[in-house]
Every structure is written in C-alpha cells, then in structure tokens.
Chains A and B, each alone.
Chain A
C-alpha cells in the first residue's frame, strides 16, 4: 500500500497534486477526481481511479477512504481501517477557510500521520483578510507600477486570486504564462477567478496599477523586466519571518499559507487525541516536543523529498 510514493510504483494512493506528493510514472493512481485532473495536466498521465470524498473501497481487508484536507483543490486525507484500527494520513492540510477547496474534516483515528511544515510556535498565520488588505494597499500606493505577487502555481495562486475577488477586487488580474492552464482547470471546477489575462506580450502600460501573479521562481527573473516598476510581493507562510522575506528580496510579504500553522497543528492533535502521532515532514522535532509536553506518543518519520519551500 503506497501513499504519495516518491518512486514509481504499481499502484499509488495520492493525497493531492503537489509535486512532492504526486509524481508521474505510477502503474495506476487512486485519488480524488480533482487531483487526477491536476496530475493529468501536469504529467499527461491517464486518468486513474477517481475516489470522491467520503467514498472508499476495500483492498485486501483494508478499508480505504478519502476525506477533505483543505490544502488545495482535491486534496485529501486518506483513512485506512483494518481490524478496528484506524490510520489517517493527512498529506498536507490546513484548517482555515479557503474558497478554492473543501474544508478539512477531522477524522477520528488511532494513528495520525501528520505534516509539520510550519511546526514551530513562531508560525501563526494571520487572518487572510488582513493580508489581502495589505496587498490592495500596496497596489493603491503604486498606481504607476504594479504589484507582482509570487504564489505557488497550484493552489496558492488560485486562492490569492479568489480571495482578491472576495475582497471586491474586480479588475482583470495578470498571470505568468505558467499559471494559465491551472487557473483554467480551477475555473472548470466551478471556482470563479474572474477575468485573467496572461502578461506575456502585453505592453507595460496595460499593467500599470495592476496585480500580476507569477510563480515564486519568476520573481527575480528576467521575466519581470516586462512589468511596469513592480513591487515584489510573496504569498507564503515563511513570510512571517523577516529575514526569510528579506533573503528573497521581497518588498511586500504576505503571510498566506495552505499549510496548518502551529496553532492548527497542535489544536488538531488535541481535538483528535490519537493514540500515536507520526510526523512526516517539516519541523518534526518541535511538534514531537509539543506531543511530549502533552503526554502524547509521537515519532518523526523523516521522509525524504518533501517540503518544497516555495509551496509554503
């Protein structure tokens, strides 16, 4: 039974479409229909076996079911039940509201296999409304230029756009070409992103006073030379730490994350009170320490190949 394997296997259960969880080359894939669509877009893989939230199947005596993780479109926790024992694999998750995906569903279990990307008590993600206000203020303060927002191409970008719309911003939003197809996929799943225009080939003047969304890797790249006097923003949980933002040459840090912050990680553990907690990736030592302080059994799995920082 493979979940999010980092090497090609005959059959993989995949929690969500990010590259460190979903890889190409598997014999067959079981995932939510949304995740399968994302994998098809990214890897050109054939559709695998879709499993809707709440649905499940039996496999060699193990009951497998998928439950919303609230991370990105289609993201799921996977519940395995066998002989009365319940194991939940979270993949990546968050507890905050997100207009682009189904909310996290707490699933009672004996063994809780969790992420810990932001597993340090310094990480408290502020309400997203505050960060959107910062972004819109930044745009207002730079009417002759533009605000360039770095956001991971799957999930973060669409969430930022959807939240801008929710905040009442109805101007066209400009996109780096690499994000276009993922945004179309989201729109095809009924997520309203409003009018999006690809920035490539546009004259500078067309983007003055606008908001441009690009993958983090493009922020300091030659690509930005086409933009009118951009203020560089970055949407990431890492932006909570000043030095991190400065290292990345960010002028307008937006603390927006699709991962659980410290409060969400610890309150989820308090809520579920699993017999055992296994920590797959992130700041495993601190979360383990917290479990120890709260008389909860925990161990770190130290999985390789996880945690792409751009994804935070």
Chain B
C-alpha cells in the first residue's frame, strides 16, 4: 500500500505525460502480484469496491472528530477524503499490525458486508500513514482523480514490459483485475492471453493537414469533415463497446448508440448531436459538449441531446479484417453493413461529388453548416493504417475565421512555459464601448513572439488576481478560429471554437479592434 500511495502522490504532482507513464511503468515492474494488478485496475478505472459509500467516510469523521473542527478543516482543505486522511494523525495511535498490502486491502473490503465496511475501513486507516490513508479513501470512494486515463495506464503497462499497447488493448477487456495473466505475459512467463469474444479498441487512422497542396480527385475521394467526436464501435456477439479517439471506453456516456447497434464488426465514424434548428441535421460541437465527459447519462440528457453516428469506415466485418483492403472496397462493405442499421442512430458520411479539385474548393468555401469543419480527402486505394501516414488521408479545414481582438488578461503556462505569460484572454468591443472577453488562446505564436508577449504582459500589468494579470488594453491580437457559437456562459454571449493567435497587430490601435456584434454575425 505504501508504494501505491507514493505512486498516487507522485502522479498528483507530475504534469508531464511521459513522466507519468514512466512512474507507473516503474511501479508495475517493481511491485509483486497481485498488488500491481489492483493498482493497474484502480488507475484504469476498472476497480470497484461495492461496500464503501461516500457517506461512510463522512460518518467515520463524525464519529471521531469534533464537528466544528472537522468543518473548518474540510473548508480549508477542500476535499473530504484528504481532510480525514490528514486529521487521522490527531487520533490516539493504535499499534495494529503494520501497513497492509494493497491486495489485502482490496480483498478485505470486497469481502466485507455493508455493515462491517465502516469499522474495517477505520481499522485499515489505523495501519497507514497520511499518504496511505488518502490512497485508501480515494480507492474506497472510487475516484482517484490523478489525471490518468485507461489508455495511459495501458500505455504504461506496455512500456514497463516492452509490449505494443495495441496488443495490450486487444486482450484487456477479456481480463479481470488483478490481471495476473497480463503480467505473466508481460514478464514472458506465459503466452499472450486469449482475447476471446471481447470487443476491444483498434487504433484510429488519422489525417495530415493539407496546407497549401492539392490532390487529384481521380485518386482521392472527398467527404465532409464533421465537427463531432471520433468514435469507434466494436461489437462481438457478446458485447458492444464504444471508444474515443484516445482509446478510452465511452460506452457509458452514449448507451443509446451501443443499444441500437446490431451486427458484429468494428466501425469508425463521427459522433454527433441531432439539432432541431438544423432540421434534424447535425448540430454544432457546442451541443455535443453537453454530452461529453460523463460516465453515465440521464434519460433527460438523451432526449434533449440525441446522438447518432455518421459512419465513414469499417475495420472488421464479423471476424474478417478489412483493414488491408483499399478504401473503395471498404466503402462498399461499409454501405452494405450500414444498410442493416437503425437509421435514427447511424447514417453514412456522404461522398462529395466534385468535378475536380478547384470545384471541391468552391464547394468547401460555400459550406457554413454548423457541424462541418472542412473536407476530408482519402486516397481511394489506401488501406486502413494506424496513426498518421503521409499521402493517404488529408484534412482540409475550411479557411479559419479571423477577428481583431484586444488582450485583456494573461496567465502563466504550465510545464516548460511556467515562467511565461502564455495564456491570453482577449475581448471585443460592446456597443457601450466596453471590452467583453470573447475567448482565450495559448497557441499560434512563435517562440520569439512568446518572449515579446511575455515582456508586454509584465510591462503593462494594471492589476493582479492571484495567478492572473490584467493588462493595459492596448495590444491587438488577430485571432483565428474555426467557428463562433452562442454561449450563455460568457458575458459577450458568444464562444469561439479552436481560437489561436494568428498575428500580433502591434500596428493597430485598440479602438479599431472588432465589435462583439461583428463576431455574432459569424455564428454558423
């Protein structure tokens, strides 16, 4: 338990993804079974302890601490589990058999009755130090919150034992914590486990940006680039699972898609929300955002933001691996497959009929539909290959919109940029002559420009609010963005999609920056 607690603690304070992976990999290599398997499950979110409920922790605190002192402490710390873990040091010390192993903790909790769980939890608390208690309470209450996704945990496993993460992915859902077979394979003590009939994630094929080039439409097919989230549907005759672009399972967030799916295979597509104002067509990303980042979803949410998948590729039809086929052959198979699916939840991404590249350019320029981000170009003879491969798929985003905005606030970046003011909030003019914030950006500028911007912020600070500096409203930033949406969260009433700084307009007086109304006119 001590090592696991230390790992969690280190993960809390580590921001670099590579360092997080290295920390987890080191732990997995050095820790014996079954502890490391339970830890892997906890990090990947596949561990659940049924007997401990959140209020058990509160009750434990109420029985031991003065309520007023607990409330003051809780208010200060901001987290119940951490408060209890820290305050436990104030209790009389009980010598009760030394620090338990992680595996022992899980086994005890899982085998405890609901009635016995609280006193068991307290006994375990007595055997741990503050870090260990924090880890225990986080484990028991089911949310580690250390910024680790399931995919990252699997990547760390792969790195620890010199395996391919895709091979890990393939067997993952067939295995259960504490993953003894997985570690046996990792350490070369046994064959790779049988993936059986489980549905698992295959890495996505990705596209390169088509900057200023062009392609011959004799070789390339064109489709719309939809502004939703990339999703993979993997179905066996036992189960249907949905995966996000990062390879994390999102079935729980979109249960209606999994339920509506029929057939066996693996498909690639875009998850979108059907919008009423769009006449039943795909709504903007803004609408989809309401459905993202949820582990489970209510019926009301499902009704208000109905989702569907616009399919554009097929990787497997039953057990047949189609990834080696050319795109055009896969497309035929996809059309055939999709014909049997519920049209309310699944449709096909249409092929754009363009005479030639110029014509496609005109069609692309004319599209201002809410959910269209641009155009995809796919080589007709390309196989489906993982990752980004030159020459096969291109994304040709529509020309960004631009606006001249005034820098209002700046904040330090993180990691390498922590000594630079690199995150900027900018605004446009309202009718009454005040500046209203319209967006925030932290990219698009060169290292040289960043140095200049950092100096500008430091020399033109007018107020400080914690980490945020308010600056003299004098610098015009040309901001590029993909779209503007209505937003109730911002005072200006609008929100930008993918804003980035495209140019520093040091020549332009702030009074000549754009009006909020101008931006409002760009709402697609």
Q: Indicate, yes or no, whether A interacts with B.
A: yes
Question: Which positions in A face B, CB cutoff 8 Å?
Answer: 120-124, 220-225, 232, 240-243, 245-246, 249-253, 262-263, 283, 285-286, 289-290, 293
- For the complex, what is the distance from the CA of A146 to the CA of B83, rounded to whole Å? 32
Contacts of A263 in B (CB 8 A): 89-90
Partner of A224, one of B65, B72, B73, B419: B419
Partner of A283, one of B72, B82, B87, B454: B72
A122-B83, A124-B89, A242-B12 given as contacts; is B69 within 8 A of A249 (CB)? no
B12 to A283, Cβ gap below 8 A?
Answer: no
A143 to chain B, nearest CB (A): 15
Find the residue from A120, A122, A220, A224 having the highest chain B CB count within 10 A: A122
B13 to A246, Cβ gap below 8 A?
Answer: yes
Contacts of A253 in B (CB 8 A): 13
Contacts of A286 in B (CB 8 A): 69, 72-73
Contacts of A283 in B (CB 8 A): 72, 76
Supply 15 further A-B pairs (C-beta < 8 A) apart from A121-B65, A122-B76.
A120-B69, A120-B76, A121-B86, A122-B77, A220-B418, A223-B419, A241-B76, A241-B82, A241-B86, A243-B82, A253-B13, A263-B90, A289-B68, A289-B69, A293-B66
Contacts of B419 in A (CB 8 A): 220-225
Chain A residue at minimum C-beta to C-beta distance from B414: A249
B14 within 8 A of A: yes
Contacts of A262 in B (CB 8 A): 90
Residues of B31-67 contacting chain A, CB below 8 A: 65-66
B72 to A245, Cβ gap below 8 A?
Answer: no
A121 to B69, Cβ gap below 8 A?
Answer: yes
B412 within 8 A of A: yes
Closest 6 CB pairs of A and B: A122-B86, A124-B89, A286-B72, A122-B73, A121-B90, A251-B13
Contacts of A222 in B (CB 8 A): 419, 454
Contacts of B73 in A (CB 8 A): 120-122, 286
- For the complex, what is the distance from the CA of A8 to the CA of B405, rounded to whole Å? 48
Partner of A285, one of B72, B83, B412: B72
B92 within 8 A of A: no
A122-B86, A220-B418, A293-B66 given as contacts; is B12 within 8 A of A246 (CB)? yes
A243 to B87, Cβ gap below 8 A?
Answer: no
Chain A residue at minimum C-beta to C-beta distance from B84: A122
Chain B residue at minimum C-beta to C-beta distance from A221: B419
A141 to chain B, nearest CB (A): 10
B14 to A251, Cβ gap below 8 A?
Answer: yes
Contacts of A221 in B (CB 8 A): 419
8 residue pairs of the A-B complex, CB under 8 angstroms, read A121-B87, A124-B130, A221-B419, A242-B79, A242-B82, A243-B82, A251-B14, A293-B66
Contacts of B12 in A (CB 8 A): 242, 246
- For the complex, what is the distance from the CA of A252 to the CA of B414, rounded to whole Å? 15
- For the complex, what is the distance from the CA of A30 to the CA of B86, rounded to whole Å? 40
B213 within 8 A of A: no
B78 within 8 A of A: yes
Contacts of B90 in A (CB 8 A): 121, 124, 262-263
Chain A residue at minimum C-beta to C-beta distance from B85: A122
- For the complex, what is the distance from the CA of A243 to the CA of B74, rounded to whole Å? 12
A224-B419, A243-B79 given as contacts; is B89 within 8 A of A289 (CB)? no
A245 to B13, Cβ gap below 8 A?
Answer: yes
Proximity bits, B10-34, A CB within 8 Å = 1, else 0: 0011110000000000000000000
B82 to A289, Cβ gap below 8 A?
Answer: no
Contacts of B13 in A (CB 8 A): 245-246, 250-253
Residues of B90-135 contacting chain A, CB below 8 A: 90, 130
Chain B residue at minimum C-beta to C-beta distance from A244: B77
B72 to A120, Cβ gap below 8 A?
Answer: yes
B30 to chain A, nearest CB (A): 14
A145 to chain B, nearest CB (A): 12
- For the complex, what is the distance from the CA of A170 to the CA of B65, rounded to whole Å? 44
Chain B residue at minimum C-beta to C-beta distance from A263: B90
- For the complex, what is the distance from the CA of A249 to the CA of B417, rounded to whole Å? 12
Contacts of B77 in A (CB 8 A): 122, 241, 243
Chain B residue at minimum C-beta to C-beta distance from A289: B68
A243 to B83, Cβ gap below 8 A?
Answer: no
Contacts of A289 in B (CB 8 A): 66, 68-69, 72
- For the complex, what is the distance from the CA of A251 to the CA of B86, rounded to whole Å? 20
Chain A residue at minimum C-beta to C-beta distance from B19: A251
B14 to chain A, nearest CB (A): 7
Contacts of A243 in B (CB 8 A): 77-79, 82
A220-B419, A225-B419, A251-B14 given as contacts; is B86 within 8 A of A124 (CB)? yes
B330 to chain A, nearest CB (A): 46
A168 to chain B, nearest CB (A): 23
B299 to chain A, nearest CB (A): 35
A247 to chain B, nearest CB (A): 8
A11 to chain B, nearest CB (A): 36
Contacts of A242 in B (CB 8 A): 12, 79, 82
A150 to chain B, nearest CB (A): 13
A118 to chain B, nearest CB (A): 11
- For the complex, what is the distance from the CA of A121 to the CA of B77, rounded to whole Å? 11
Chain A residue at minimum C-beta to C-beta distance from B74: A122
- For the complex, what is the distance from the CA of A251 to the CA of B15, rounded to whole Å? 8
Contacts of B130 in A (CB 8 A): 124
B216 to chain A, nearest CB (A): 47
- For the complex, what is the distance from the CA of A251 to the CA of B418, rounded to whole Å? 12
- For the complex, what is the distance from the CA of A33 to the CA of B338, rounded to whole Å? 87
- For the complex, what is the distance from the CA of A220 to the CA of B14, rounded to whole Å? 16
- For the complex, what is the distance from the CA of A289 to the CA of B73, rounded to whole Å? 12
Chain A residue at minimum C-beta to C-beta distance from B70: A121
Contacts of B14 in A (CB 8 A): 251
- For the complex, what is the distance from the CA of A267 to the CA of B77, rounded to whole Å? 23
- For the complex, what is the distance from the CA of A249 to the CA of B72, rounded to whole Å? 25
- For the complex, what is the distance from the CA of A283 to the CA of B77, rounded to whole Å? 13
- For the complex, what is the distance from the CA of A241 to the CA of B90, rounded to whole Å? 16
- For the complex, what is the distance from the CA of A302 to the CA of B65, rounded to whole Å? 26
Find the residue from B13, B68, B83, B419 having the highest chain A CB count within 10 A: B13
Contacts of A121 in B (CB 8 A): 65, 69, 73, 86-87, 90
Contacts of A246 in B (CB 8 A): 12-13
Find the residue from A120, A223, A262, A283 having the highest chain B CB count within 10 A: A120
B16 to chain A, nearest CB (A): 9
